[in-house]
């Protein structure tokens, strides 16, 4: 495969946060994107075979996607090192060291398109990060890079607007790539609503999450998650729980939980985390305590490559059964109260 002006992007990790931006940016620079496919059993087993057992599932999956791109003959593979997204707000060490990890475990005929985003360092801004990427393709004109940056923001903002208005991830991405913004009609009410708290790469990767959103919807549940919230709402959620921001992805966990814990339409929350994830274990403990304070039911689901689907479904069904029972009891209580008032009139 011709490697000039082609970039391979693994459909894993930051793909779920920033791909709309990469799409707009790289397209404008005339760089063709080759994506790996959906995660499969093979992706996981190949990735897992190259890293130590304790590595979290999302990283194993990422390695598997890099291998798939190499198998496809892609010579340039984008592996960013996203160190920090704001001063003193860091990603976990595995995300920060992703290019080093890939270089050390994946051998083959390819090169890593590596750029570092570290907003805790002086003079390292998004534009510096983008310049690093463009330079691999001989593009040095800062005006051209800035224009491409703007295109990236347009696609990303369109995508965000659509998911915030209830469109699914895949549909929103499809329309955003076409330059469209489609606002779907309001969805019908469901008997119960659940906030699903987790990183985009855990929730939206249908293999690792075992398509949890679809499973919940089949149980007649309305699912809400961090992608439906604005940056301000996530920040408000963090503030409401008095949580100190340290991790780059804390907004989509603690911030999201903080917002939905105060939302009356939410009957319960599910946290979905990868086994062995240090930051998540701390954040989930915080969320668990706060959920108790707000009297919201909470279920934590941990995923790794050995998680069995049957046990996963049983836990989800049992949790939803409990929420349905709670709801029925609450409605019966309210009815009794109303009857009492009516009998006095
Ligand atoms: S935040 Fe957790 S799940 Fe994500 S890469 Fe780091 S250790 Fe893995």
Confidence check: pLDDT of 258 > 60: yes
The protein residue whose alpha carbon is closest to atom 2 in ligand 1 is 277
Q: Using the mean position of ligand 1's atoms as its centre, give its distance from the Cα of residue 146 in Å.
A: 31
Q: Do β-strands 89-90 and 81-86 pair in parallel, antiparallel, or remain unpaired?
A: antiparallel
The residue to mutate among 10, 58, 99, 197, having the most atoms of ligand 1 within 8 angstroms of its beta carbon, is: 58
> What's the pLDDT band for 48 if we cut at 50, 70, 90?
very high
Which spans in the chain are helix H?
Answer: 15-28, 41-48, 57-71, 93-96, 98-105, 126-135, 142-164, 169-177, 200-203, 212-218, 231-240, 256-261, 278-293, 309-344
Whole-number pLDDT of residue 40 = 96
What percent of the chain has a predicted confidence (pLDDT) above 90? 77
Whole-number pLDDT of residue 256 = 96
Confidence check: pLDDT of 193 > 90: yes
Confidence check: pLDDT of 3 > 80: no
pLDDT in tens, 270-327: 999 998 898 999 899 999 999 999 999 999 999 988 888 889 999 999 999 999 999 9
Whole-number pLDDT of residue 122 = 66
Whole-number pLDDT of residue 1 = 46
- Sketch the domain layout of the chain as residue ranges: 6-170, 187-337
CB 77 within 8 A of CB 110: yes
| Integer Cα distance of 134 and 132 in angstroms | 6
Q: Using the mean position of ligand 1's atoms as its centre, give its distance from the Cα of residue 284 in Å.
A: 13
The protein residue whose alpha carbon is closest to atom 6 in ligand 1 is 92
Q: Using the mean position of ligand 1's atoms as its centre, give its distance from the Cα of residue 37 in Å.
A: 21
Q: Using the mean position of ligand 1's atoms as its centre, give its distance from the Cα of residue 20 in Å.
A: 21
| Integer Cα distance of 23 and 174 in angstroms | 11
Helix (H) or strand (E) holding 180: none
- Output the average pLDDT for the chain: 93
Q: Using the mean position of ligand 1's atoms as its centre, give its distance from the Cα of residue 51 in Å.
A: 14
Whole-number pLDDT of residue 342 = 82
Answer positive or negative: Cα dihedral of 280, 281, 283, 289.
Answer: positive
User: What fold is seen in the domain 187-337?
Assistant: Rossmann fold (3.40.50)
Q: Which of 304, 326, 301 is nearest to 216 (CA)?
A: 301
Closest atom of ligand 1 to CA, residue 56: 8
Whole-number pLDDT of residue 234 = 93
What percent of the chain has a predicted confidence (pLDDT) above 70? 99
pLDDT in tens, 10-28: 999 999 999 999 999 999 9
Q: Using the mean position of ligand 1's atoms as its centre, give its distance from the Cα of residue 279 in Å.
A: 7
**For residue 2, how many other CB atoms are within 10 A of its CB?**
8
Closest atom of ligand 1 to CA, residue 93: 6
Enumerate residues lining ligand 1, CB below 6 A.
Answer: 56, 58-59, 92, 94-95, 199, 274, 277-280
CB 238 within 8 A of CB 249: no
Residues 6+ apart with CB under 8 A from 111: 75, 76, 77
Whole-number pLDDT of residue 244 = 80
**For residue 280, how many other CB atoms are within 10 A of its CB?**
26
Q: What is the mean pLDDT of residues 194-202?
A: 96
| Integer Cα distance of 292 and 323 in angstroms | 15
């Amino acid at each position: 495969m011709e490697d000039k002006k082609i970039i391979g992007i693994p459909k894993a990790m930051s793909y779920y946060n920033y791909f709309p931006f990469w799409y707009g940016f790289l397209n404008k620079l005339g760089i063709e994107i080759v994506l790996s496919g959906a995660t499969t059993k093979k992706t996981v087993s190949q990735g897992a075979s190259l890293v130590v057992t304790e590595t979290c599932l999302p990283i194993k999956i990422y390695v598997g996607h890099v291998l798939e791109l190499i198998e496809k003959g892609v010579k340039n593979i984008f592996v960013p090192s996203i160190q920090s997204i704001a001063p003193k707000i860091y990603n976990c060490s595995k995300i920060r060291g992703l290019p080093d990890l890939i270089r050390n475990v994946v051998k083959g005929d390819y090169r890593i398109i590596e750029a570092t985003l570290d907003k805790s360092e002086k003079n390292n801004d998004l534009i510096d990060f983008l310049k690093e990427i463009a330079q691999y393709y001989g593009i040095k004109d800062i005006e051209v890079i800035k224009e491409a940056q703007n295109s990236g923001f347009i696609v990303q903002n369109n995508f965000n607007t659509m998911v915030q208005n209830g469109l699914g991830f895949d549909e929103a991405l499809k329309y955003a790539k076409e330059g469209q913004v489609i606002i779907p009609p309001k969805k019908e009410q469901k008997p119960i609503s659940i906030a699903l708290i987790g990183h985009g790469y855990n929730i939206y990767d249908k293999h690792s999450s075992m398509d949890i959103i679809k499973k919940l919807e089949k149980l007649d549940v309305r699912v809400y998650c961090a992608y439906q919230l604005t940056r301000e709402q996530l920040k408000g959620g963090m503030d409401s729980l008095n949580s100190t921001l340290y991790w780059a992805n804390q907004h989509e966990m603690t911030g999201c939980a903080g917002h939905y814990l105060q939302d009356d339409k939410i009957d319960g929350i599910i946290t979905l985390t990868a086994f062995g994830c240090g930051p998540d274990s701390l954040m989930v403990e915080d969320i668990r305590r706060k959920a108790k304070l707000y009297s919201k039911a909470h279920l934590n689901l941990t995923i790794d490559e050995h998680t069995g689907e049957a046990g996963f479904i049983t836990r989800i069904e049992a949790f939803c059964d409990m929420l349905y029972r709670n709801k029925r009891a609450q409605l019966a209580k309210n009815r009794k109260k109303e009857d009492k008032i009516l009998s006095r009139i």
